[in-house]
């Protein structure tokens, strides 16, 4: 557990936007163990809220149906909130490619609504969740998340220099979180259930490997340590998709293997968590990178006439291609720790015994 996190959570009120997703569900478990005053789950999904309400049956939970695109529905629940985790987003690459304006409304305008409401109601801190796709974006989700980060940084400048508004705005950025909605491992598992050959876009494509618990730790780190306008990145190993598919096949003793089907529109060969330009100012800690805002205050004219010397040519970006690369044995060890994999293994063994 992150040092100091108990003092930040005990007796405080939290709002989780998009709180019925993978992140919200795991964060909820963590918060409930640390005695908050109240946790508000804000999302559009009535069914998931119903299931979550029945699962926890806790007087500390409040469920609100609403949409971050709608400022008024959001603003009604922010009053009295101490901390906000902003996880609501459209995040699947194909969906955003087909419906770019919907992604813009949710990922950018929705984030702006969260920030404005937080400032208006005096929330202490907002932690937004971003993605590797925001760095050198080539797809709609990356472009909208990059814009979201820019909105956070721009608004943080105003709150930093305001005597009245003290809301801290910061964010976290991470790559592939294992076994979350839309990630490849549940897709592989579904194909195994259907007795199909696993489909891999490109065997040499690399992805960071981050368990959901470590993604939660990153957000808690930002909750405790987060400074205005900063982005925080957890250091993570990576592997190729071929290695990942081989590890899944090994775990389930699956003999049909995998086949390449080609890269989908909007996909990158490698994930980038920190760009070259950001690394010039990033602070390297044992487990995290802290990326301060590229800020020159609120003096608009400085952006035209003042710059900084750098050694950009001597740096490379932090990517899934150049981070620590795991082999099949190492990936298998990580996957076997996931509760979802443990559950699937039990089901798989029971089915074989029938």
Length of the chain equals 354
Please indicate, yes or no, if residue 217 is contained in any of the structural domains: yes
Give CA separation, 353 vs 70, 195, 343, 344, 346, in Å.
Answer: 52, 16, 16, 14, 11
Residue 291 — φ and ψ, nearest 5°? -110, 105
- CATH code, domain with 94: 3.40.50.720
Please indicate, yes or no, if residue 112 is contained in any of the structural domains: yes
Helix (H, G, I), strand (E, B) or coil at 292: coil
Provide the number of structural domains found in the chain. 1
Tell me the mean pLDDT in the region 125-143. Answer: 96
The reported pTM is 0.91
**Residue 149 class from Cβ within 10 Å (0-12 exposed, 13-18 middle, 19+ buried)?**
buried
**Which pLDDT value is given to residue 172?**
98
Tell me the mean pLDDT in the region 277-289. Answer: 93
Residue 248 — φ and ψ, nearest 5°? -65, -45
Please indicate, yes or no, if residue 284 is contained in any of the structural domains: no
CB atoms within 10 A of CB 180: 19
Active site residues: 133
126, 16 contact by CB (below 8 A): no
What is the residue whose two structure tokens read 């979550």? 52
Q: pLDDT category, 11, cuts 50, 70, 90? A: very high
Domain holding 36, by residue range, is 5-175+210-236
pLDDT of 206 > 90? The answer is yes
pLDDT digits (tens, 9 = 90+) for 40-80: 999 999 999 999 999 998 999 999 999 999 999 999 999 99
Please indicate, yes or no, if residue 231 is contained in any of the structural domains: yes
pLDDT of 214 > 70? The answer is yes
Please indicate, yes or no, if residue 350 is contained in any of the structural domains: no
**Which pLDDT value is given to residue 351?**
75
Name the residue among 221, 215, 241 with its Cα closest to residue 132: 215
Q: Among 22-26, 101-105, 180-184, name the one with the lowest average pLDDT.
A: 180-184
Tell me the mean pLDDT in the region 113-117. Answer: 97
Please indicate, yes or no, if residue 308 is contained in any of the structural domains: no
pLDDT of 313 > 90? The answer is no
**Which pLDDT value is given to residue 306?**
62
**Residue 122 class from Cβ within 10 Å (0-12 exposed, 13-18 middle, 19+ buried)?**
middle
How many Å apart are CA 202 and CA 242, to the nearest integer? 8
pLDDT of 338 > 70? The answer is yes
pLDDT of 305 > 60? The answer is no
Please indicate, yes or no, if residue 315 is contained in any of the structural domains: no
**Which pLDDT value is given to residue 289?**
96
Q: pLDDT category, 180, cuts 50, 70, 90? A: confident
**Which pLDDT value is given to residue 300?**
61
What is the residue whose two structure tokens read 């040499």? 204
**Which pLDDT value is given to residue 89?**
95
pLDDT of 323 > 60? The answer is yes
Tell me the mean pLDDT in the region 196-224. Answer: 95
**Which pLDDT value is given to residue 216?**
95
Please indicate, yes or no, if residue 65 is contained in any of the structural domains: yes
Q: Is the dihedral of CA 339, 172, 17, 41 positive or negative?
A: positive
**Which pLDDT value is given to residue 311?**
53
């Amino acid at each position: 557990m992150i040092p100091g996190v108990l003092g930040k959570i005990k007796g405080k009120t939290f709002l989780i936007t998009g709180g019925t997703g993978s992140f919200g569900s795991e964060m909820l478990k963590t918060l409930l163990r640390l005695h908050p005053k109240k946790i508000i789950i804000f999302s559009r999904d009535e069914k998931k809220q119903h299931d979550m309400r029945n699962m926890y049956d806790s007087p500390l939970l409040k469920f609100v149906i609403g949409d971050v695109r709608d400022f008024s529905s959001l603003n009604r629940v922010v009053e009295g909130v101490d901390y906000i985790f902003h996880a609501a987003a459209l995040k699947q690459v194909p969906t955003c490619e087909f419906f770019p304006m919907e992604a813009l409304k949710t990922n950018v305008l929705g984030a702006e609504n969260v920030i404005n409401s937080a400032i208006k109601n005096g929330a202490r801190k907002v932690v937004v969740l971003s993605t590797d796709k925001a760095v050198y974006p080539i797809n709609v989700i990356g472009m909208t998340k990059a814009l979201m980060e820019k909105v956070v940084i721009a608004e943080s400048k105003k709150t930093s220099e305001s005597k009245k508004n003290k809301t801290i705005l910061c964010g976290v950025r991470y790559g592939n979180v294992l076994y979350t909605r839309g990630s490849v491992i549940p897709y592989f598992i579904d194909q195994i259930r259907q007795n199909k050959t696993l489909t891999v876009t490109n065997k040499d494509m690399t992805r960071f490997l981050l368990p959901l618990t470590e993604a939660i730790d990153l957000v808690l780190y930002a909750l405790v340590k987060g400074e205005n306008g900063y982005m925080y990145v957890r250091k993570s190993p990576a592997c190729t998709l071929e290695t990942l598919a081989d590890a899944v096949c090994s775990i389930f003793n699956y003999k049909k293997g995998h086949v390449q089907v080609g890269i989908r529109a909007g996909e990158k060969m490698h994930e980038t968590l920190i760009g070259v330009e950001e690394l010039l100012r990033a602070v390297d800690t044992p487990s995290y990178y802290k990326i301060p805002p590229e800020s020159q205050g609120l003096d608009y004219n400085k952006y035209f006439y003042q710059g900084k010397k750098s050694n950009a040519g001597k740096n490379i970006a932090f990517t899934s291609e150049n981070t620590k690369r795991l082999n099949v044995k190492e990936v298998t060890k990580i996957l076997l720790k996931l509760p979802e994999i443990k559950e699937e293994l039990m089901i798989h063994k029971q089915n074989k015994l029938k």
